[in-house]
Amino acid sequence: MTNTTSRATANADKLRDKRVQQEIIAISDDIRSQRPWLKYQDTIGLSIFSISIFGCLLNAYLYIQGVMPAWMVILGTAFWTSILHELEHDLIHWMYFKKNKAIHHLMMLGVYVFRPFTVNPWVRRHIHFHHHKNSGSATDIEERGITNGEQWGIKRLLMVSDNMLAVYLRPFKYLFEPLRLYRQGKVTRRDLKNFRLIGLLSYNPLGIVSHMLWHGFILFHLANGVAWMFSMSIPWPSLLLDQMPWLTTLAVVLFAPNALRTFCLHFISSNMHYYGDNKQGVIVEQCQVLNVWWLIPLQLFCFNFGNTHAIHHFVVRDPFYVRQMTAKRALPVLKENGVRFNDIGSFRRANRMHPVKKTNRQPVASVA
Ligand SMILES: [Zn+2]
Ligand SMILES: [Zn+2]
């Protein structure tokens, strides 16, 4: 490709992205003009926040009172926390109470405490802004952290299901990847420092403690299950057995719902973003739309993420509920402009847009 041709292609890509952005903004403006109440964004955000947290607390209360069965609590609270996730993402983009920092940060704390397995939202703000600018690159640690770009298999399935397993099963990558990126000249020394700081602060302490309790709970029951198969029982110390009632309650009302929600969100998110061979800075190539029917059970616990997240990459200003309203008219605009829909083949290509050459495992597009 000559320099002139590649410059012309880059310009065409930029113009196409701009066109899509303008069309989606026009759709969103139209929807906002038909529903003037949408301008009370802070009030709407705080109301959704309060209702979702009330829903989680009510489920917990009904479980403790013996009224609601565990499975119903897990499904119900997974749904409410999926809304809290959307609110967290909106808060990260400063969509609620930008001028009233106290309420803003109180909401940040609330969405964090009820989703304790996640990266600290104040840390995630930096990682997420970086994701928008560098989606699909080696430095997009938000998506790489949830397995984007990895080959599909049992290991990736385990890592999608659990944020800490995504660290434990890639210890060398986790420790040395920032240094490798620095040596390759892909990040600056300051970035390297920030990466290390992010590594230290992301799950510390809430994420680490809650994962330890959750893993302890699972291992306890796994061990009991194995012992039962051999007609044996494990003589657990009474100090440990005394902790099981409150740990079981916490597992049902908080950990299991969040594990389910995390799996659904990370499965969809890590599969819908492209990695490695998408043209950097070209939004049309950053992600696909994943709205195939068999993903509906997962979309239920991540607020239709696969159907709407690509719209967010083009227009960031809309809260999640406005994005849902624009989707019907915005998705055809994405399709007309080349955003892929249900590109299931990308599962086999480890999120690459193009087939990978077997000889050198390099994406065809980057070789060309
Ligand atoms: Zn975002
Ligand atoms: Zn994204």
pLDDT digits (tens, 9 = 90+) for 32-84: 999 999 999 999 999 999 999 999 999 999 999 999 999 999 999 999 999 99
| Residue 138: per-residue pLDDT | 94
Distance CA 255, CA 19 (A): 43
What the block records as the tokens of 67 is: 């009224």
Identify whether the C-beta of residue 84 lies closer than 8 Å to the C-beta of residue 49: yes
Ligand 1 centroid, distance to 314 Cα (angstroms):
10
Distance CA 78, CA 303 (A): 10
Identify whether the C-beta of residue 118 lies closer than 8 Å to the C-beta of residue 207: yes
Of residues 182, 219, 233, 176, the one with CA closest to residue 199: 176
Ligand 1 centroid, distance to 128 Cα (angstroms):
6
Ligand with the closest atom to the CA of 278: 2
Residue 196 is which amino acid? R
- H helix runs in 35-140, sequence order: 41-64, 70-92, 101-113, 121-134
Ligand 2 centroid, distance to 176 Cα (angstroms):
24
Checking if the pLDDT of 12 tops 70, the result is: yes
Ligand with the closest atom to the CA of 305: 2
Longest dimension (CA), the chain: 75
Interval 320-335: pLDDT, tens: 999 999 999 999 999 9
Q: In 3-state terms, what secondary structure has residue 363?
A: strand
Ligand 1 centroid, distance to 318 Cα (angstroms):
10
Kindly state the percentage of the chain with pLDDT values over 90. 90
Q: CA 311 → CA 21, 145, 238, 272, 331, distances in Å?
A: 9, 22, 54, 12, 8
Interval 106-116: pLDDT, tens: 999 999 999 99
Ligand with the closest atom to the CA of 310: 2
| Residue 367: per-residue pLDDT | 31
Checking if the pLDDT of 336 tops 60, the result is: yes
Ligand 2 centroid, distance to 58 Cα (angstroms):
32
pLDDT band at 366 (very low <50, low <70, confident <90, very high): very low
- H helix runs in 99-162, sequence order: 101-113, 121-134, 141-145, 154-161
Interval 86-107: pLDDT, tens: 999 999 999 999 999 999 999 9
pTM above threshold 0.75: yes
Q: In 3-state terms, what secondary structure has residue 247?
A: helix
Checking if the pLDDT of 361 tops 70, the result is: no
Ligand 1 centroid, distance to 91 Cα (angstroms):
10
If 0-12 CB within 10 Å is exposed, 13-18 middle and 19+ buried, where does residue 368 land?
A: exposed
Ligand with the closest atom to the CA of 135: 2
